[in-house]
Structure 1
Amino acid sequence: MTLAFNQRIRQALDDRKQSDLFRSVQTLEGGNQPVFQNNGQRFHNFSSNDYLGLASSDELKSCYQRAVSELGVGSGASPLVTGYSNQHHSLELALTEWLGYEGALFFSSGFAANQAAVFALLKKGDLLIQDRLNHASLMEAGALCDADMKRYRHCDNDHLATLLQTDKPTMAVTESVFSMDGDIADLDTFISACQQAGALSMIDDAHGLGVIGEQGNGAIGCTAQRVDILVVTFGKAFGLNGAAILCSKEMKEYLTQFARHYVYSTAFSAAHAVTITKAIEMIQTQHWRREKLSELGAVYDEVLQSAPGYISTQTPIKPWLVGGEEQVLRLCNALKQEQIWTTAIRPPTVPKGSARLRITLSATHDIEAVEQLATSLKRHSEGC
């Protein structure tokens, strides 16, 4: 029996390597900073989700250090045992007041939060409708839950409206900012379509909160409508980790009873909750961080707008479309020779034939580094 598994594992690994889809963990020093070291070499980091530069902020680090000194490093239990503290409650109040919801539940990751909502709410005979390019956590949840699942064409709310014409209890889900493409969904139309059909609406705001919307309030700042379930994560613009589901009081009570990822997982620490609360304050008040992102994006666009591979976005996510797996690996390695660190994104993360560099900007980048990146990309694209 062991031999069968060994053969299966070996074959799967060989297949990945032969198709240029093999992935490896890189051991880096300072991967949460705009410049880091790898094997003694210095690289400009254009792969991080730390859009606002909070992960290496002295202000946020000092807050975390003080909180750990006072409160310790672990919560000790799940939220329903002894893992929910006054600090968690203060974070919930800050988050719900900022984003306009009645309640919030905290999770270890956005992956867990997305799956918790789908698994807890959908039953056999229900229908889940998703944007075709939604995150893997949502697609996996849809495949594993008891409900039927349909996918609508990317950001095509007319197609969504057609699929919503059903008598089944229905939930529709979209991302606000799509993590591999950097584009923004039409959230007004999405929510209106759900409301007209009597469907439950859910938005994954992982890459939106802190970056888009009025004063960085993400999806809710981009629509006059109110989505039923808002999932936010603290591992992108917040510079930390963890996630939350924001919803009505009654929905919160239901998820507290039936969301297994919440009930049976250890809560993040009280010190972590204090630091997330501090990050909310920084996002709300330090407008220069979003202004810097806009400035850097304009520099990037000006150099590259006519180059092959360039895709225009209004977010810090700048996909550079290459197409083939071998070609994107070659470009990624060529940039590394120039001390520019990017990540080659290949299937199954993106559809076949759409391999790309997922380039991201951070408020801690300087203009010279972005100009160097853009110039190198343009030179390599012209040489293809």
Structure 2
Amino acid sequence: MSRPDLLARMAQAQAARAEAGLLRRLRGVAAVDGAYVVMDGRRLLSFASNDYLGLAQHPRLREALVDAAQRWGVGATAAHLLGGHRAPHKALEQALADWTGRERALLFSSGYLANVGVLVALLRDGDLCLQDKLNHACLIDGARLSGSTLKRYVHADAASAQRQLAAMPEAAALLATDGVFSMDGDVAPLVELAALCREHGATLHVDDAHGIGVLGRDGAGSLIEAGLSQDDAPVLMATLGKALGSAGAFVAGSANLIDGLVQFARSHVYTTAMPPAVAAATLVAVDIARHESWRRERLQILIRHLRAGAAERGLQLLPSRSAIQPLLVGDSEVALGLSRALELRGYYVPAIRPPTVPADKARLRITLSALHSEAMVEQLLDALQAANV
């Protein structure tokens, strides 16, 4: 009996995905100009970026990046513990801790690495990792790698989470949730989940990738908006490549948490540090995000404008008050067709299909940025109506 050929097996799975109309493909962007991208030789108005505050091309970030590259070079050359931790990294960690109201912060090279690192460091065999059904994939993968028992509760349903916690009363437990859900755009019931964790002695871990910079006082995120402290939610993870327009991620919490992660978060210990120039640029982004509140105010105006215009045109947006405004379509092929129709009209709005979203929940994921204008939003709404959504 011969062993299965792994590459052949993967090719079969790929063929099945193509047959189902779910095949993903990479598309290159040739140029970026504000809210516009050039793809396949066409200039398109993009509603697909997570650059919520419009900082990725900001001249101050560019200048900080270039200046730091002149001083520090391009790469960090080593992991943080082996000489890769430079002055810009230290300054950024201090700024992130101060912004989010926490004792300390620790940089990771990506949000995926941050969540996996935390869960593997904290959880062991026999522990319970309880997660929202719509959590990001990296939280799911982190729980699996940790060896803990993974249980998933009904999306945004604290009562469902309570039943799961009560079923394993003796196990050490961590409850992980997105702050803002990346595909639906809604905000987790953080106050209820924090109360639940206090009641059951569980640790609350919040992935605020899509909340940081956008929600809360000074843009400090969904936990600050909910009035929750470090004691209420001991583990905060957020990314630097969305509202902050840069790259990488951080975990913020108590000094004990951060000291422990330096020892036991393998994805931090064994990964080259982010380039110092990126850290320097991100430090500027944090300053802008904190103090230029007009960017968040503009974003809120655009969100209200889009939702009101969609309602007037009979377009079915999912309930969301964030910059992520999904237009539910259902069928994957129909969603792809609508995305192509919009592209022909000059708009880039990708179709999101299973397995990224549940079966029969394909959608157009419209994301807004402070770079957009109300006129741009109105044009998109007209294009959606013309495409017979």
The TM tier, using the shorter chain, reads: over 0.9
Match of 1:377 in 2: 384
Q: TM-score, normalised by structure 1?
A: 0.96
How far apart are the structure 2 equivalents of 1:29 and 1:355? 27
Pairing of 1:99-178 with structure 2 (within 5 A): 99-165=100-166, 166-178=169-181
Q: Deviations over 1:285-338 (max 9, x none)?
A: 111111111121122112111524322421110101000111100000000010
What amino acid does structure 2 have at the position aligned with 1:300?
A: L
1:240 counterpart (240, 246, 258): 246
- 1:188-227 equivalent positions in 2, closer than 5 A: 188-226=191-229, 227=233
Check conservation: 1:188, 1:222, Cα contact below 8 A.
Answer: no
Q: CA deviation at 1:33?
A: 3.9
- 2:317 aligned residue: 310
> Counterpart of 1:9?
10
Shift of 1:174: 0.7
Rounded to whole Å, the distance in 2 between the matches of 1:96 and 1:21 is 41
Q: For 2:31, what is the secondary structure of its paired residue?
A: coil
Query: How do 1:230-379 residues align onto structure 2 when only pairs under 5 Å count?
Result: 230-306=236-312, 307-379=314-386
- The 5-angstrom pairing of residues 58-97 of structure 1 reads 58-97=59-98
SS in 1 for 2:54: coil
Distance 1:3 1:144 in 2: 24
The code of the aligned residue for 1:209 comes to I
Which sections of structure 1, spanning at least 5 residues, go unmatched? none
Q: CA deviation at 1:187?
A: 1.1
Q: Secondary structure at the match of 1:36?
A: strand
The answer for unaligned runs of 5 or more in structure 2 is none
* Identical amino acids, percent of aligned pairs: 38
Q: Deviations over 1:17-40 (max 9, x none)?
A: 110000000011235841011222
- For residue 206 of structure 1, give the secondary structure of its aligned residue in structure 2: coil
Alpha-carbon distance in structure 2 between the residues aligned to 1:116 and 1:337: 42
In structure 2, C-alpha distance between the alignment counterparts of 1:256 and 1:7, rounded to whole Å:
40
- Point out the more displaced range, 217-226 or 260-269: 217-226
Q: Name the amino acid aligned to 1:143.
A: R
The SS at the match of 1:305 is helix
Deviation at 1:6, TM superposition (A): 4.2
8 Å CA contact 2:60–2:284 kept in 1: the answer is: no
The alpha carbon displacement at 1:356 in A equals 0.5
Q: Deviations over 1:168-203 (max 9, x none)?
A: 100001111000000011211111110111101100
Tell me the distance in 1 between the aligned counterparts of 2:3 and 2:244: 44
Query: TM-score, normalised to structure 2's length?
Result: 0.95
Partners in 2 of 1:8 and 1:72 — Cα distance? 43
- Give RMSD over aligned pairs: 1.5
Q: Distance in 2 between the 1:80 and 1:245 partners?
A: 17
CA shift in 2, pair 1:127/1:2, >3 Å: closer
**Distance (whole Å) between structure 2 residues aligned to residue 272 and residue 6 of structure 1:** 36
Describe the SS at the equivalent of 1:164: helix
More displaced, 292-301 or 48-57? 292-301
For each residue in 1:69-112, what CA deviation from the matched residue of structure 2 results, as whole angstroms up to 9, or x when unmatched? 12211111001110111221111111111111111111111001
User: Residue deviations 1:89-142, cap 9 Å, x none?
Assistant: 111111111111111111111001000011111101100000110001111222
Change (3 A) 1:334 1:258: same
> The residue matched to 2:152 in structure 1 has which SS?
strand
